[in-house]
Structure 1
Amino acid sequence: MNETAKSQCAPLSGVAEALRRAALRARELARQTHTPVVVYRNGKVQSQIPDASAAGGGAEPRQG
């Protein structure tokens, strides 16, 4: 990778990790407040209730 490409990537180096942290925090807040989380999975928009027992702040599809 040349110097120009490296300098353009530097500001974006932490973006993926920051997005992961934000998603975990959003799921945790939704779990605490019993609020559904809207996600895009398998080509569909789904509303899910975060499951406290799931590792990593997982979520279950919302019923109804």
Structure 2
Amino acid sequence: MSQAETAQTGKVTAMDYKAAGAPKIGKNAPRHAEHNARGSEKNPYRKAESKAELLARMKAAAEARKGK
């Protein structure tokens, strides 16, 4: 209906926003769980890695890259 027809007939139709393609509401949740998420077995809460452990892990990673 055009505005002229609406003015003549006095009918007002409501807009159907669902049919117009309104955006869907997000779920606010991740798509999957991370393998090393906080609180998991691999990364428990309040775990503080010592400097020596960090350096050892970095050196092992560097050696692994160097070996390739």
Q: Same fold (TM over 0.5)?
A: no
| Larger gyration radius, structure 1 or structure 2 | 2
Greater relative contact order structure (CA < 8 Å, 6+ sep): 1
TM-score (norm 2): 0.28
* Structure with more strand by fraction: 1
Higher helix share: 1
